[in-house]
């Protein structure tokens, strides 16, 4: 297996060099290490070059998904080894992936579990809330999704599949698209990636959880993922399903006491996620409303109207407006017909009208 390591990078000056070095230190040496700099505003590109990577700089934001697509287009290997710019791979990462591919041609990708590389409250909270599914060793086996923090895909399995150019659920969409072509994703708990993120303060923690809430809405709306019912019945979020799943996973992994100690902050994180979910839902509703307005009649030059095909609902609304206008005209005619002080009375009986004027005088 000749692997091209692809590292998407956005403002990771302090961590990307360690990621690059961990790629070069593999027991199975990679064919190349590519860092795709996603329009960083710091010195990420220089740090990656000093560590030995080939750097591809993007002049405009492509997000994590788009940066990986740039790496796919430039890669020469027969396998794509995706590694995050804040993750450190174990030395046998590529070797274990190669052995798995050789053992079973039906496996299209190999990934592993995630270890916390940032001790302390905020580092632990990020690890537990965002990666609780991958903190426990468990048993090796097929999975429907594995994070792209450190995963190796066969090139021929990927084919023309590409990542959505976003930071929201792009790895899930990519994995499902690859699986639709056939094959399995394989989870190897002996591959342990160390996550060394920079979200180490309350503000960064809040922003990350809000972003996760948005991702939950977008992925459940578009993809077949657990929790899809939340899109239809969002009130279920206030039962905090993800919180209880996270606490249960922590307990099974031997972190029950940490779950108790961190519970207030875990709860706060869930509240931020719910906020992000409803923000994304609101944005989606605004998009739908805008698209419906674009389908309504538009005024064109000369004051005429250009009508598009109308929905049954708009036809019904027009019928109701017409009926209301007819009713108002009927009321006005009735008032005019029965009011003795209005001009139409004189037309009906001129003599009576004249007599009325004389009596009044």
- For 31-78, the pLDDT digits (tens) are 999 999 999 999 999 999 999 999 999 889 999 999 999 999 999 999
In three-state secondary structure terms, 322 is: helix
Q: 305-306 and 298-299 as β-strands: parallel, antiparallel, unpaired?
A: antiparallel
Phi, psi (degrees; rounded to nearest 5) at 333? -65, -40
More confident residue, 127 or 288: 127
Q: How far apart are CA 137 and CA 191, in angstroms?
A: 9
Output the pLDDT for position 358.
Answer: 38
- pLDDT tens digits along 150-159: 999 999 999 9
Query: Is the predicted pLDDT of residue 299 greater than 90, yes or no?
Result: no
Residue 354: φ, ψ to 5°: -65, -40
Mean pLDDT of the chain: 85
Reported as a pLDDT band with limits 50, 70 and 90, residue 317 is low
pLDDT digits (tens, 9 = 90+) for 5-18: 999 999 999 999 99
Where does the pLDDT of residue 254 fall: very low under 50, low under 70, confident under 90, or very high at 90 and above? very high
pLDDT of residue 3: 98
In the predicted structure, residue 251 carries a pLDDT above the cut 70: yes
- CA pair distance 15, 198, nearest whole angstrom: 9
Residue 353 has pLDDT above 60, yes or no: no
Beta-sheet pairing, 141-143 with 184-195: antiparallel
pTM above 0.85, yes or no: no
Of 63, 195, 213, residue with least CA distance to 126? 195
Report CA 297 to chain centroid distance, whole Å. 33
pLDDT tens for residues 162-214? 999 988 788 989 999 999 999 999 999 999 999 999 889 999 999 999 999 99
**Structural contact between residues 92 and 27, judged by C-beta atoms closer than 8 angstroms:** yes
Say if CB 76 and CB 35 are below 8 A apart: no
Average pLDDT over residues 88-114: 97
Handedness of CA 225, 227, 233, 238 (dihedral sign): negative
Instruction: Tell me how far apart the alpha carbons of residues 348 and 63 are, in angstroms, rounded to a whole number.
Output: 80
- pLDDT score, position 294: 74
Provide the pLDDT for residue 220. Answer: 84
pLDDT at residue number 329: 56
Q: Tell me which residue of 93, 102, 103 sits closest to 152, measured CA to CA.
A: 93
Query: What angle is formed at CA 63 by the lines to CA 61 and CA 66, rounded to 5 degrees?
Result: 95
If pLDDT is split at 50, 70 and 90, which confidence band does 297 have? low
Compute the average pLDDT of residues 115-131.
94
């Amino acid at each position: 297996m000749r692997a091209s390591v692809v590292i998407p990078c956005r403002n990771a000056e302090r961590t990307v060099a360690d990621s690059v070095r961990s790629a070069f230190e593999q027991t199975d040496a990679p064919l190349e290490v590519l860092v795709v700099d996603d329009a960083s505003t710091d010195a990420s590109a220089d740090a990656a070059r000093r560590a030995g990577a080939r750097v591809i700089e993007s002049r405009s934001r492509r997000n994590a998904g788009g940066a990986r697509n740039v790496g796919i287009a430039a890669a020469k290997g027969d396998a794509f080894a995706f590694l995050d710019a804040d993750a450190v791979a174990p030395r046998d990462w590529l070797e274990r992936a190669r052995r798995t591919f050789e053992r079973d041609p039906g496996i299209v990708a190999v990934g592993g579990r995630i270890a916390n590389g940032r001790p302390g409250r905020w580092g632990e909270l990020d690890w537990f809330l965002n990666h609780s599914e991958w903190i426990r060793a468990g048993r090796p086996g097929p999975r429907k999704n594995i994070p792209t923090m450190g995963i190796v895909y066969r090139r021929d399995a990927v084919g023309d599949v590409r990542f959505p150019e976003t930071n929201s659920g792009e790895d899930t969409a990519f994995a499902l698209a690859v699986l639709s072509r056939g094959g399995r994703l394989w989870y190897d708990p002996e591959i342990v990636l160390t996550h060394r993120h920079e979200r180490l303060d309350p503000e960064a923690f809040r922003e990350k959880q809000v972003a996760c809430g948005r991702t939950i809405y977008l992925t459940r709306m578009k993809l077949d993922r657990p929790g899809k019912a939340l899109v239809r019945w969002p009130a279920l979020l206030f039962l905090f399903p993800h919180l209880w799943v996270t606490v249960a996973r922590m307990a099974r992994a031997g972190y029950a006491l940490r779950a108790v100690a961190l519970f207030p902050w875990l709860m706060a994180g869930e509240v931020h996620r719910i906020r992000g979910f409803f923000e994304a839902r609101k944005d989606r509703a605004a998009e739908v409303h805008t698209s419906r307005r674009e389908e309504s009649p538009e005024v064109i030059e000369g004051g005429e109207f250009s009508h598009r095909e109308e929905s049954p609902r708009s036809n019904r609304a027009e019928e109701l407006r017409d009926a209301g206008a007819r009713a108002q005209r009927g009321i006005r005619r009735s008032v005019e017909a029965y009011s003795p002080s209005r001009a139409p009375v004189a037309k009906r009986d001129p003599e009576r009208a004249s007599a009325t004027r004389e009596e009044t005088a």
